[in-house]
Structure 1
Amino acid sequence: MATGLLTEEAAERIVTTCRTAIGDSLRSVTYFTRDDYEQVYLREDLERDADLSTFIGHEWRGFKTAQTAYEASELGEYDYTIRVFDNGFLVRVTTDSEGVFVTTDGLTVKDFEEVATAVESFLEEREVS
C-alpha cells in the first residue's frame, strides 16, 4: 500500500524489516515526519482506534528533548527509546527529519536492539536516496 509519505516499496520494506526482526510480536508500525504520519502496519487482531496524531507529537518532542538533554553525556550518543506499557511496548527510532515507532507484545532486550538497528538502517538508506 502506497502511503503518500512512503512509496509502496518503502512501506513494505519497513514492515518486512520489523516482522523479520521480531516476528508475530509486532503490533504496529508507524512512519512519521515532523508534519505527517502514516500507520503502515496494524496487526489484524487490533483495533484502529489509537490517537496517532497525539502519539506522533509526543514522540517527536520526546526525541528532540532526549537528544538535547543527553548531548555530550558520558552515556554516549542517543540511539532509540523503549516505552513500556501494560499491554505492550513502543520502540521509537528517529532522525532529525523522520522516524518510525513500532509497537510490540513482550520482547527481550536483544529483540529491541534488533528491531531498532533494523529501523535505523531503513532510515539511513532513505537519507542516502
Structure 2
Amino acid sequence: MSEHRGLVDASLEEQLVSACRTTVGDSLRSIVYFTPDEYEQVYLRSDLDADADLSRWVEHEAAGFRAQLAYSGSELGEYHYTLRVFANGFVTRVVEGEHGVFITTDGITVRRSKEVTRAIRSVLG
C-alpha cells in the first residue's frame, strides 16, 4: 500500500474536510482517504506532526473492505462503520464500495461518530 499524492481531487478533499470539520469540530485530528491499493492524507490539524507511519494504519484500516464482505448477510444487518477507542483519541473508519476514509479525533461520542459516518458516506456516495 503506497501513499499517492493527487489520489484525491481538490473538490473531494474540500467536501471531506468540510463534512468532517462541520460534524466533529476542533476535535478532528486527521483525515485519510484510501482505496485497496493507495491512500492519501487529506487533512492534518496544524498542531500535529506529520511524521506518523500511515502505511501501517492504512493497511489495517483497509481490512474494512473485507469486513463489508465478511459481515454481509449478518443477523445484525449491514455493516456501517468501525469506531476504535485509544488512550489518547479515536479512529472512525468508513468504507463505501472501493474507497474509504478514516478520521482521527481527540474525542467523539457514539452519536457524533454516527453523524460523521453519514456525512462521509454522503460525500463518498
Give the TM-score, by structure 2 length.
0.91
Contact 2:90 2:105 in 1 (8 A): yes
Q: What SS does the corresponding residue of 2:62 show, helix, strand or coil?
A: helix
Give me the whole-angstrom Cα distance separating, in 2, the residues matched to 1:122 and 1:9.
Answer: 10
May I ask how many residue pairs the two structures share in their alignment? 121
Cα deviation 1:17-52 (Å, max 9, x = unaligned): 100011001000011111211111101111112111
* In structure 2, C-alpha distance between the alignment counterparts of 1:69 and 1:7, rounded to whole Å: 30
> If the length of structure 1 is used for normalisation, what is the TM-score?
0.88
Residue 113 of structure 2 aligns to a residue in which SS?
helix
Runs of 4+ in 1 over 3 A off after TM superposition: none
Using the TM superposition, give the Cα deviation of residue 56 of structure 1 relative to its aligned residue in structure 2, in angstroms: 0.9
Cα RMSD after superposing both structures: 1.2
CA distance in 2, matches of 1:29, 1:74: 31
- Quote how far apart the aligned CAs of 1:105 are: 1.0
AA paired with 1:106?
Answer: G
CA–CA distance in structure 2, aligned partners of residues 22 and 114 of structure 1: 9
Q: Confirm or deny: 8 A CA contact 2:31 2:41 kept in the other structure.
A: yes
CA distance in 2, matches of 1:8, 1:88: 27
C-alpha separation between the residues in 2 aligned to 1:19 and 1:55? 21
- CA-CA distance at 1:82 after TM superposition: 0.4
Gaps of 5+ in 1: 125-129
Amino acid at match of 1:114: E
Structure 2 counterpart of 1:9: 11
Q: How does 1:90-129 map to 2 (within 5 A)?
A: 90-124=91-125
Name the CA distance, whole Å, in 2 between partners of 1:96 and 1:114: 19
- Give the superposition deviation at 1:6: 1.5
Paired amino acid for 1:89: F
Within 2, Cα distance between the matches of 1:32 and 1:76?
24
* Aligned amino acid, residue 82 of structure 2: T
**Partner residue of 2:47 out of 25, 45, 48:** 45
After TM superposition, give the deviation of residue 59 of structure 1 in Å: 0.7
Cα distance, 1:67 vs structure 2: 2.2
Q: CA deviation at 1:88?
A: 0.4
